[in-house]
Amino acid sequence: MSPVRPLRLPQLARLLTLALTLVLAIGLFAPSGHAAPAPDSARGGAAPARTTPALPAPQPAAGAPERGDDQGRLASADRRSPLPLDTRPAEARTPAKPLARAAQQACNVADFTGRTGSALVQQIKSVDTQCINQLFQLTGTDANGAFREEQMTTVAYALRDASGGYPGDDSTAVGQLVLYLRAGYYVQWYNSGAVGSYGTTLQTAIRAALDAFFAGAHWNDVSQANAAILGEAVTLIDSAQENTRYLWVVKRLLNDYSSATWNPAGMANAVNPVFTVLFRGHQLPDFVAAVQADPSVLDSLSAFVTRNEDQLGGDYGVLEYNATKELARFLKYTALQPKVRPLTKALVAQSAPSGRTVYQWAAAAEAVGYYDAANCSYYGTCNAADQLKSGVLTVNYTCSPSIKLIAQALDGTQLNTACTSLTGQDAYFHSVVRDNGPVKDDNNTTIEVVVFHSSFDYQVLAAAIYGIDTNNGGMYLEGDPAAAGNQPRFLCYEAEWVRPAFQIWNLNHEYTHYLDGRFDMYGDFNAGMTTPTVWWVEGFAEYVSYSYRKVTNDGAVAAAAKHTYRLSDLFDTAYGDQDRVYRWGYLAVRYMVEQHRADVDAVLAKYRVGDWAGARTLLKTTIGTRYDADFDSWLTACANGACATTPTVPQVPECTAADTRQLGAGCARSNVAATTGNYAHFYLLVPAGTQQVKITTSGGTGNGDLYYNPGGWAYTNAYAARSAGPDNSETLTVTNPPAGYVYFSLYAQQGFSGVTVTSQF
């Protein structure tokens, strides 16, 4: 969800699956940013960017994925797949219901791997689709037993035979047969060595099956009962890589779709997969030739967008967005440009870089930028990113000298809430990591927080404005922290599913990535990935986000009960499996911070100077497997309730000087109080050569504003810097302070008490 020391974007190619209908499983927070698998990596300045995914975006649920994307063959522009109808993280979605059939027997993998011929077909027909969903996870001998070509061919011919009498619902178990075939293609794509190759025998059978289904009298019935099955059947076209053969199905659905009658019947879920068929069709050698020979599908896409323009800005606007994107994608082919250019220009002309039609404009403009940038003036999309920024990111707000909020639609109360959460996190973060200031050569003194209005706005507009992949829950873009003028930022969005309550998804996870990159991880993101550091980068962001907010990490607690990993294995975690990256990363970090603080300090000391090999030696050799048994016992306690409480974070010690106004290095003064209009004064003796002094205030009641003066007591009319938020969460960072005494004061804008003042340098 993420490059430029942004969320620490996984550098691995991610599963780019299009969960266009049933989607489950979610990720937590991603690398130095929190998100699901994030983009490959963005760049900030000349050096490789640190990009960390934000809270993990949802992984496709078993049963939702199609065949995987061939990432190696796709340019970055072509990895932007169509969006699912529901763009929210999976954990926010209502679990998809199985097709309307009751399970007649328990789901057992051996029931599929141990049967062949008609016995296999009857077994598939007898179970619920939730059982078949589990088969998407098969590997090894189980994958071969269930999905080798002989088995798939049998099921394909069974689908052919059943399709002749398909009544438009699942009473004849056509849905189970379709889903089983999808599962087979999916598993074989990722486990071809175990499953074996698929050849012309299966191709002949699957064509016969799809021909029979789409020749039936009820395949396009407009009904709830047919919608889910048709959606899976259209997805199966792509799974079997028969995109070219069934272009006529794509055109038929695009031309027949009517929002007035189809949406109430749930048929949008049957239509949206056609965009996947088009998207992945570009990977097949005969697909483009077929479109060139008969470009009428381009007219169908154009008419679809224009006819349904009223849906933009609503629940089904994603259909128009996907249609616009898939039409404009054909701009990449010189032979088709005379046809596609005027159609794309017309879609730009009937939309705008702001307002309800901005999604259509963004889709077209993004494609022009990828495929026909030299002619952007023809479309009116030159400087598209700037046009969109000024059109949609209209809210600018300064939280503190180091935090700026840029938003699409936050009001004053929401801005204050977000700022309070961010500024209050600083003191907590530093109390956990016990740092001595920024790492060397890190000039990222400010962070830009960009907040989109919804998950859909993020996926569409963040991609078009910032040029990132947005199939994640957010992204932190760090850039090169040593480059002059580098601007780190993280991108996130409002959780529209909790409204009228207000929440910014992954806000604190992503902010932790910024702080961690600045105070714990030397250099840019790629530097920190030279050895496995994902366990810390993502696990720590999760840990701080949950513990700072005092929220129980239910997903991690559930994972702990499974005892899936040893601690020594978690030190090897790489981006990929969301559960391991986020939930198990959280568990590993929490265990180490709470049980082996000295080891954490030693590892961070290596990370802060870029001694990645030294840190690796500490983790894999000095620690090694020594804590594995204790970690396993700790997991049991965690699952039994120990992790339901807020983590115990080592507190900063109280300052010991006799004068209670005197602060020191890495200490605090607690229970500070003052009445309205008065001050609590403090001073600090700064050693020569000190690079930074940081003062934070937190807790208590009332509202105290923090002031700094290098030459004498600080007052509201005598100060060099101040932090004046709506409560007691204030932070002042002084770079290269003068040697000798410097002064800070907490002014009671409203009488306060119980405040803690922490000093670090």
Closest to 227 in 3D by CA, of 62, 94, 96, 95: 96
Please give the tally of structural domains in the chain: 3
What is the reported pLDDT for 99?
Answer: 52
Residue with the two structure tokens 């850039």: 479
- Give the confidence band of 488 by pLDDT, cuts at 50, 70, 90: very high
What is the reported pLDDT for 666?
Answer: 83
Q: Which residues, at least 6 apart from 577, have a Cβ–Cβ distance to it below 8 Å?
A: none
What is the reported pLDDT for 728?
Answer: 80
End-of-domain residue from the set 183, 208, 240 = 240
pLDDT at 707 over 80: yes
- Looking at residues 472-495, what average pLDDT do you find? 92
- Give the confidence band of 651 by pLDDT, cuts at 50, 70, 90: low
What is the reported pLDDT for 79?
Answer: 57
Conformational region of residue 25, where left means phi above 0, alpha means psi within -120 to 50, and beta covers everything else: left
pLDDT at 608 over 90: yes
Contact between 146 and 109 (Cβ < 8 Å):
yes
pLDDT at 457 over 70: yes
Distance CA 536, CA 542 (A): 10
Strand partners, 696: 731, 758
Distance CA 655, CA 657 (A): 6
- Give the confidence band of 88 by pLDDT, cuts at 50, 70, 90: confident
107, 197: one domain: yes
Distance CA 270, CA 252 (A): 12
Residue with the two structure tokens 């962001």: 541
Closest to 455 in 3D by CA, of 196, 89, 29, 709: 89
Sign of CA dihedral 119, 123, 124, 126: positive
Residue with the two structure tokens 């002619």: 375
Q: Which residues, at least 6 apart from 192, have a Cβ–Cβ distance to it below 8 Å?
A: none
- Give the confidence band of 729 by pLDDT, cuts at 50, 70, 90: confident
91, 209: one domain: yes
Identify whether 126 is part of a domain: yes
Active site residue 510: yes
One-letter amino acid at 669 equals: R
700, 718: one domain: yes
pLDDT at 195 over 70: yes
- Looking at residues 736-750, what average pLDDT do you find? 94
Strands 50-55 and 395-400: unpaired
What is the reported pLDDT for 16?
Answer: 28
640, 689: one domain: no
What tens digit of pLDDT does each residue of 97-106 get? 555 444 444 6
Distance CA 156, CA 124 (A): 12
Identify whether 334 is part of a domain: no
End-of-domain residue from the set 199, 225, 240 = 240
What is the reported pLDDT for 730?
Answer: 85
What is the reported pLDDT for 645?
Answer: 72
136, 202: one domain: yes
Q: Which residues, at least 6 apart from 666, have a Cβ–Cβ distance to it below 8 Å?
A: 434, 436, 652, 653, 759, 760
pLDDT at 257 over 90: yes
Q: Which of 72-76, 195-199, 285-289, 569-573 has the lowest mean pLDDT?
A: 72-76
Written as six digits, the tokens of 562 are 């499974």
3-state secondary structure labels for all residues of 353-411: CCCCCHHHHHHHHHHHHHHCHHHHHHHCCCCHHHHHHHHHCCEEEEEECCEEEEECCCC
- Looking at residues 13-19, what average pLDDT do you find? 28
What tens digit of pLDDT does each residue of 509-543 get? 999 999 999 999 999 988 889 999 999 999 999 99
pLDDT at 427 over 50: yes
Cα 474 to chain centroid, rounded: 5
515, 421: one domain: yes
Q: How long is the chain? A: 761
- Give the confidence band of 3 by pLDDT, cuts at 50, 70, 90: very low
For residue 651, the number of C-alpha atoms closer than 13 Å in the C-beta half-sphere is 8
- Looking at residues 680-700, what average pLDDT do you find? 89
Mean pLDDT of the residues in the chain: 86
Quick one: the chain helix, strand, coil %, rounded to 5? 45, 15, 40
Q: Which residue has the higher pLDDT, 691 or 488?
A: 488
Written as six digits, the tokens of 11 are 């550098």
- Give the confidence band of 40 by pLDDT, cuts at 50, 70, 90: very low
Identify whether 286 is part of a domain: no
Written as six digits, the tokens of 334 are 């010189």
- Give the confidence band of 720 by pLDDT, cuts at 50, 70, 90: very high
- Looking at residues 169-186, what average pLDDT do you find? 96
Sign of CA dihedral 62, 495, 536, 587: negative
Contact between 488 and 5 (Cβ < 8 Å):
yes
Strands 730-735 and 692-698: antiparallel
441, 557: one domain: yes
- Looking at residues 589-606, what average pLDDT do you find? 94
Conformational region of residue 666, where left means phi above 0, alpha means psi within -120 to 50, and beta covers everything else: left
105, 212: one domain: yes
Distance CA 135, CA 183 (A): 6
Contact between 53 and 45 (Cβ < 8 Å):
no
What is the reported pLDDT for 576?
Answer: 85
- Give the confidence band of 11 by pLDDT, cuts at 50, 70, 90: very low
Identify whether 374 is part of a domain: no
What is the reported pLDDT for 733?
Answer: 86
End-of-domain residue from the set 225, 240, 255 = 240
What is the reported pLDDT for 650?
Answer: 55
Provide the CATH number for the domain around residue 593. Answer: 3.40.30.160
Distance CA 267, CA 36 (A): 28
3-state secondary structure of 478: strand
pLDDT at 27 over 70: no
107, 215: one domain: yes
Identify whether 546 is part of a domain: yes
pLDDT at 343 over 60: yes
Conformational region of residue 407, where left means phi above 0, alpha means psi within -120 to 50, and beta covers everything else: beta
What is the reported pLDDT for 648?
Answer: 57
What tens digit of pLDDT does each residue of 365-381 get? 999 999 999 999 999 99
Q: Where are the beta strands (DSSP E) in 616-675?
A: 667-674
Q: Which of 58-72, 237-251, 704-718 has the lowest mean pLDDT?
A: 58-72
Distance CA 745, CA 539 (A): 36
Element (H, E) at 681: strand 679-686
Contact between 320 and 351 (Cβ < 8 Å):
no
- Looking at residues 651-659, what average pLDDT do you find? 84
Q: Which residues, at least 6 apart from 601, have a Cβ–Cβ distance to it below 8 Å?
A: 434
What is the reported pLDDT for 659?
Answer: 92
Element (H, E) at 120: helix 117-126
Catalytic residue among 510, 538, 542, 730: 510
Omega within 30 of 0 (cis) for the link into 500:
yes
What is the reported pLDDT for 390?
Answer: 97
Provide the CATH number for the domain around residue 747. Answer: 2.60.120.380
- Looking at residues 725-746, what average pLDDT do you find? 88
Range of the domain at 686: 667-760
- Give the confidence band of 577 by pLDDT, cuts at 50, 70, 90: confident
Residue with the two structure tokens 């395949």: 219
What is the reported pLDDT for 9?
Answer: 30
Element (H, E) at 449: strand 447-452
575, 488: one domain: yes
Determine the Cα angle at 95 with ends 19 and 135, to 5°: 60
What tens digit of pLDDT does each residue of 208-243 get? 999 999 999 999 999 999 999 999 999 999 999 999
Identify whether 731 is part of a domain: yes
- Give the confidence band of 665 by pLDDT, cuts at 50, 70, 90: confident
Identify whether 343 is part of a domain: no
One-letter amino acid at 670 equals: S
First-to-last CA distance in the chain? 33
pLDDT at 64 over 70: no
Q: Which of 102-116, 309-323, 581-595 has the lowest mean pLDDT?
A: 102-116
What is the reported pLDDT for 49?
Answer: 34
Closest to 134 in 3D by CA, of 110, 159, 101, 162: 110
Distance CA 250, CA 16 (A): 21
- Looking at residues 720-745, what average pLDDT do you find? 88
104, 75: one domain: no
Closest to 346 in 3D by CA, of 384, 383, 379: 379
One-letter amino acid at 31 equals: P
590, 713: one domain: no
Distance CA 436, CA 3 (A): 26
- Give the confidence band of 13 by pLDDT, cuts at 50, 70, 90: very low
Q: Which residue has the higher pLDDT, 711 or 69?
A: 711
Identify whether 501 is part of a domain: yes
What is the reported pLDDT for 20?
Answer: 29
Q: Which residues, at least 6 apart from 94, have a Cβ–Cβ distance to it below 8 Å?
A: none
Q: How many CB atoms are located within 10 Å of the residue 210 CB?
A: 25
What is the reported pLDDT for 436?
Answer: 81
